[in-house]
Copies of this chain bind each other. A is one copy, B any other.
């Protein structure tokens, strides 16, 4: 079965998704907010999947959906206000329970600004359990794994988290603007809240160079999120986000973990 609509895409493996850096999408240094960049990556991923018959609209018909498990972005340079840029994306590999999708971010003249890696699982919407990607739709997704020579993503893979002594920084309430169409706190909002932990000087005097996040559990409108940090070295701070236990006696649970690098 070939689920791809060939009329819609020029390259079988790699799509290019243009974006423009809008005035309200940049921080006080004039560089794009990482959350906004993350949103462009997820849109590029969504379009790439959709054109190949693997978009969430098509998947919903068979009661499946994609779940973002990890995202890692490493930038040599951040897109600036009014720049025209592109995200390129492709499928690096497919395993039974996960698929790796890579990205490169370019200025419109072709200059590479950075790269990103992501890991996705497919779940059954009813059971919420992961599906076997190798057999779903007769393994159709395997057709889209990029040839090795085209898989250009020279950044390190996702790291391991070891929280020995994380320090509590703050707790926040979650509100209407944090929540996506599924009723979950949206993946991008965690990135914003995590970067909000860092002082002004980090953005003024240094540059956010790499950001990794692993999504562990969902949180919902009204959940109180607590943020813990652990300084690894001068460049790296790890962050753990937990949701408070509820009145039924449920314990605090890890929602996501991140590694934030400034250079």
Contact = CB atoms under 8 A, between A and B. Distances in A.
Interface of A: 22-24, 26-30, 33, 35, 39, 42-43, 46, 81, 175-177, 179-183, 186, 188, 192-193, 195-196, 198, 200, 203, 221-222
B188 A176 contact: no
Contacts of A24: 39, 42-43, 180, 186, 188
Contacts of A33: 177
Given A24-B39, A33-B177, A176-B203, 8 more contacts: A23-B42, A23-B46, A24-B180, A24-B186, A27-B176, A28-B183, A176-B195, A177-B195
Most chain B C-beta atoms within 10 Å of own C-beta, residue among A26, A177, A193, A195: A177
A26 B22 CA distance: 18
17 contacts: A23-B42, A23-B43, A23-B181, A24-B39, A24-B43, A24-B180, A24-B188, A26-B181, A27-B177, A27-B179, A28-B183, A29-B181, A30-B181, A35-B177, A81-B181, A176-B198, A177-B192
B28 A181 contact: yes
Nearest to A196: B175
A196 B181 contact: no
Contacts of A203: 176
A261 to B, nearest CB: 16
Contacts of A175: 196
Contact of A176 (B46, B177, B183, B196): B196
A30 B180 CA distance: 8
A124 to B, nearest CB: 20
Contacts of A29: 181
A196 B183 CA distance: 15
A169 to B, nearest CB: 12
A180 to B, nearest CB: 6
